[in-house]
Structure 1
Amino acid sequence: MKLKKYKSISGITSYSMSLIFALCTVISLFSALIFISLDKDAEIINLSGSLRMQSYRLAYDITTNNSENKLKYIEKYDSVLYSDALKSVTDWHSTDEIKTHYFQVVRHWESIKEKLLTQREQEVLPIIPSFVDIIDELVCNIQVHSENKLHYLIWASCVGVLLVGLIVTYFVHYINHKVVSPIVQLSNASQDIRQGNFDITLDYHLNNEIGLLSSTFHRMAEKMGHIYSGLEQSLSQNNQALELAVEENVLLSKISIILLNSEPHQNKLESAISLIKDLDAVSFITLEWKNAETGESIAVSQGTKNSELLYTLPLMYKNAIVGTLSCQSEYKLSLLETVAPIFAKYLHSFSK
């Protein structure tokens, strides 16, 4: 049987497991990337914080006229501001606001650095507070961005768990509806067949291996039912024939006792005919012969004659017809052929 849109159970199982594995892999990779990014954000926040502290230190040194290590200070500030970690805030994954504040910090620093290199330290002091504020805004935006990443991670995890739960729920429902339930039906059907009931009900329209198995099992049960019915019918017929044969043998013995061990008399013939009529298959029977002296026909009958075919058997004794035995029955009785010689002999002695 060829099923339309055949869906293999193993295929559905593999697909579901692959989908769950893919979701778990994506969630794991996304989580790993988020954690790596958060670790990098922590480094960026620390570096930005160091810029803030260095700005205060610069203001303090200028106020106390301690600017001897000016070049060393500029070099250190440049190494932090232009480090790979801080420059990464300009990558695609950062927000426009973070990029804007970073470039503002760079522009302000370049302005401060130019004043420091041209011996105009006193012009730096007024812009230090605004410079620190820009650094604080940069740090604040990076912190907010990191918190958003955590929120994304939580949402992604929740969505992933929900999707995995839906897939598992669907898979469990599929297995229960398409596998477990049909197998239970097959088990119950096998018990019915074991008890001789071949009229089973199976959902063999499933488009998977269980449906194919159920369809095959259903056809097998139908064939077994036909075979079993045929055997029962044949056995019933054989039993019926055997019972009839036994009944005929018993009847033959009784007729033999009545006719062969007694003086000829019409009442004996009536008794013998009555015994044959008592058979369930016989509806009418009659015995006819002619009186040897008058030539008059004599008949002994039992039952009611109907429209069924009348089976007539001539009674022969020493190649001469001494009478006829007629019977209406559901089928031809072999008993008539067996008792015919007995009746023929009795009629011959009766007509003397």
Structure 2
Amino acid sequence: MLEFYNVGLFINEDNPSHLLNVTRRSIFAYFFVAGSCYLLKHLVDRYNCENQNLIEQLDAQNLFIQEQAEAKLQEANYQLKLKVEELRKREQMLKLSQEIAKVGSWEFSVNDRFTFWSEEMFNIFDIDTNTELSLIDYKNLIGNDKWSGFYQVSKELILKKGEFALVININTPLGYSKWIKVYAFSIKEGDQLAGVRGICHDITQAKESELLLKASENKYRGLFEQSFYPILLINPEGTILDANNSLSLLTKINKDEYLLKNINTLITFFEGKKFDFSKSSYTEETLGEIQANTGEKLLVEINWKVMPSERVIVTLRDVTQIKAAQKTPNRKRGAL
């Protein structure tokens, strides 16, 4: 470049160290270095400006992202709050449903031996909700006489990874006798048994009603069969559902022949009398005729009672001879 501007270094063979145009070379060098520095400074300032702009844009984008993230976080927190509130309401409804239905849920984990009872489970067994489950004497709670059977079905459940349902009569720590139905099924993780989950239903009221109904049916059946008077059990349509042996003794016809037939095929009602299912007490005495196997028409007094189960108990009384005896004196007086 110095040679181009004619201020370069000329080498003289007689005097090699002789330098020409030193002043011009110095001035040129000064301006070259100064220009280079200025250009470099300009480039640095330009890059700094661009970097500053990029930093500002990055800050703006970070601020925008932060605002968007905060907005989305707030929305997520709001949705989470709604979900938590919904779960809380569902938990309350589940708790209330279990309390009304007297159904408790429970779970047992095989790996860590963790046991869970819902609040209704404690209520069913009359145990304080603050009681540690590990401190409960399950053998004594179920009953020593029933524990072996309960333990066996539980063991089979774990071994076979299946399910079971059984009904047990227990005596709670407060001294109450209760009937409970236990249903359990295994929880599997692949082929391994992870735990057992189930429900416990307090069926005491239903069981007691069942026992009372059974006792009542047995008592009814005994009175039904032992009654001296013929008795029929019919539905609101008049279909004969059952009859006792006294009806067979009266008509000399097997009672099975009357079953599922309409009562009008058995009895001819006087004055068009019909059953009134709106009344729950005995009606006034109604007369009718029933034909025996001998062909004789027997006069019977009929009473019926509507039961809560929409069944009608019809009681018959043979008054053939009584009515005949009542008419005999009248004919004698007429002859006189």
TM-score after normalising by structure 2: 0.29
The structure with the greater share of residues assigned to strand is 2
The structure with the greater share of residues assigned to helix is 1
Higher relative contact order (CA 8 A, sep 6+): 1
Higher gyration radius (CA) = 1
